[in-house]
């Protein structure tokens, strides 16, 4: 392959295989694991690493000042993702760990547990089957940059780091009202989160060392340490304001944990826009073309171009246009494959709209070898579609498009010469929308990873969401 010429003529099946099986991410994960663990037998280590098949399981640190909600959020994430909950006190009390007694001796003598001992306990715990297979969430550790660097030195690196923060007065108020269930270790509060079960109420206890002065001291210490921790995990942390309802904090934390880290894998967008008439497919395609250079392919326009060019293929398409019958699948396959294999599509990517109309046509795209890697379904009520389409018109002189409600012409002369496309008649639009609604269930099933969008909103809001799904990896919803 000549590295000086582009586009590289890589067979499409190779690119599809790499994307479908995350080949680049797999190799990146292997390289990271090798550099972190530095095993004496790299080949055997890579084989064992691949057998674990745990590259997508959560590995999360949750940090923040006291009473910021670390334990609650950590336990909720563990319940939602079936991950293993970890905390420093749990590591010390777990007698199966080789050095837990040593750590307990330090605490019994009211001495600080050394950082190297914490790292040893955590390293041993993370090698257990539940942490390897299900992933883990570590609550309240590390507390200092020194501890974080120590963890890095033994190869413990989180994929996501959540840092909770809130005003000091809120933290003090929360901490002074904190109560713990000694059986389940669930955290409650006298004001904000009182348990409904009377049995649980009776057995709640106040944690040791809870006072206004002690709380203020711990908050101050946290403020001193957080900047160093953020510097250590500057590329994979998210700060979340904990001074809001707990469910909102959890929603933000969960969304972050399910997001994928940035990948250096080559990515050429192949976007498919599906939706009824008036859902804004043409506008979104134009915006993607304008900002990212994606080739804008309107399938209807593509067929009309072939007819207008007078090519032999256009002569085969023309009778279908005149009779109103669909173009045969063999011709469609030839036209589509010819366009998608051109250099601009291979180099910059493409956005296709107006095709497919059903699952059989979706299969045609698959046979071209260039399947879409992002599919967006634009949903729109029929009433809104009728309003958008049936009241639009075009100025035959300037080519400018207008709408009687959203964009009426200001010039009376322009208003008089406006012409409406016969395809925008109410009965035509209703027929197309009805056909789409009958086929959309099959399309949703065919493109099981498709992204649903509400098209009844500002088009630039829709574009921002589409844009975010292109520039960032899709979240891991199967965790």
CATH number at residue 170: 3.40.50.300
**Domain C-terminal end among 208, 235, 257:** 257
Contact assessment for residue 393 and residue 419, using Cβ atoms and an 8 Å cutoff:
yes
- Residues 194, 154, single domain; the answer is yes
Contact assessment for residue 385 and residue 433, using Cβ atoms and an 8 Å cutoff:
yes
Write the pLDDT tens digit of every residue in 166-209. 999 888 888 887 778 888 777 777 766 777 888 888 888 887 76
Write the pLDDT tens digit of every residue in 389-408. 888 888 888 878 888 777 88
The arithmetic mean of pLDDT across residues 64-79, rounded, is 92
Write the pLDDT tens digit of every residue in 255-275. 999 987 776 777 888 999 999
Give the least confident one: 74-88, 193-207, 209-223, 433-447: 193-207
The pLDDT-based confidence of 12 (bands split at 50, 70, 90) is: low
pLDDT, residue 307, reads 85
Tell which residue, 287, 298, 297, has the closest CA to residue 460.
287
Place of tokens 């056909």: 435
**Domain C-terminal end among 211, 234, 257:** 257
The first and second tokens of residue 12, run together, are: 């499409």
- Residues 318, 225, single domain; the answer is no
pLDDT, residue 3, reads 45
Whole-Å CA distances, 310 to 59, 178, 224, 299? 60, 79, 74, 17
Burial (CB count within 10 angstroms: exposed 0-12, middle 13-18, buried 19+), residue 412? exposed
Rounded to a whole number, what is the largest CA-CA distance in the chain? Answer: 92
Is the model's pLDDT at 85 over the cut of 80? yes
CB atoms inside a 10 Å sphere around CB 169: 9
Whole-Å CA distances, 128 to 34, 37, 123, 133, 416? 19, 16, 9, 9, 77
Is the model's pLDDT at 221 over the cut of 90? yes
- Residues 212, 299, single domain; the answer is no
- Residues 306, 348, single domain; the answer is yes
Tell which residue, 57, 36, 33, 472, has the closest CA to residue 262.
472
């Amino acid at each position: 392959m000549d590295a000086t010429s582009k586009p590289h003529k890589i067979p499409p099946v190779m690119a599809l295989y790499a994307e479908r099986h995350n080949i680049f991410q797999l190799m990146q994960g292997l390289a990271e694991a090798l550099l972190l663990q530095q095993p004496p037998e790299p080949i055997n280590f890579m084989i064992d690493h691949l057998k674990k098949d745990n590259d997508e399981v959560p590995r999360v640190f949750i940090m923040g000042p006291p009473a910021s909600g670390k334990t609650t959020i950590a336990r909720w994430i563990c319940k939602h993702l079936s991950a293993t909950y970890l905390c420093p006190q749990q590591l010390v009390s777990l007698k199966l760990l080789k050095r837990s007694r040593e750590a307990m001796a330090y605490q019994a003598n009211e001495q600080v547990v050394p950082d190297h001992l914490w790292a040893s306990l955590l390293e041993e715990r993370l090698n257990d089957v539940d942490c390897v297979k299900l992933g883990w969430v570590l609550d309240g550790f590390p507390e200092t940059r020194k501890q974080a660097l120590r963890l890095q030195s033994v190869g413990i690196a989180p994929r996501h780091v959540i840092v909770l923060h809130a005003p000091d007065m809120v933290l003090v108020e929360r901490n002074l009202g904190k109560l713990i269930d000694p059986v389940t270790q669930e955290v409650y509060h006298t004001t904000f989160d009182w348990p409904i079960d009377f049995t649980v109420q009776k057995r709640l206890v106040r944690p040791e060392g809870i006072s206004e002065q002690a709380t203020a001291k711990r908050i101050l210490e946290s403020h001193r340490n957080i900047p160093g921790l953020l510097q250590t995990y500057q590329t994979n942390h998210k700060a979340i304001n904990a001074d809001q309802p707990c469910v909102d904090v959890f929603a933000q934390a969960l969304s972050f944990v399910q997001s994928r880290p940035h990948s250096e894998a080559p990515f050429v967008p192949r976007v498919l826009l599906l939706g009824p008439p008036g859902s804004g497919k043409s506008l979104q395609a134009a915006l993607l073309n304008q900002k990212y250079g994606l080739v804008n392919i309107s399938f209807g326009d593509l067929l009309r171009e072939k007819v207008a060019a007078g090519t032999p293929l256009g002569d085969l398409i023309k009778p279908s246009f005149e009779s109103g019958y669909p173009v045969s699948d063999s011709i469609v396959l030839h036209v589509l494959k010819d366009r998608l294999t051109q250099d601009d599509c291979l180099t910059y990517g493409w956005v296709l709209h107006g095709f497919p109309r059903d699952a059989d046509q979706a299969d045609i795209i698959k046979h071209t070898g260039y399947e879409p890697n992002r599919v967006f379904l634009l949903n729109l009520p029929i009433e809104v579609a009728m309003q958008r389409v049936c009241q639009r018109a075009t100025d035959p002189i300037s080519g400018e498009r207008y709408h009687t409600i959203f964009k009426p012409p200001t010039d009376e002369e322009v208003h008089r010469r406006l012409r409406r496309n016969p395809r925008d008649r109410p009965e035509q639009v209703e027929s197309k929308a009805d056909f789409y609604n009958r086929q959309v269930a099959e399309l949703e099933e065919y493109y099981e990873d498709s992204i649903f969008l509400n098209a009844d909103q500002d088009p630039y809001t829709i574009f921002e969401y589409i844009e975010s799904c292109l520039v960032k990896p899709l979240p891991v919803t199967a965790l």
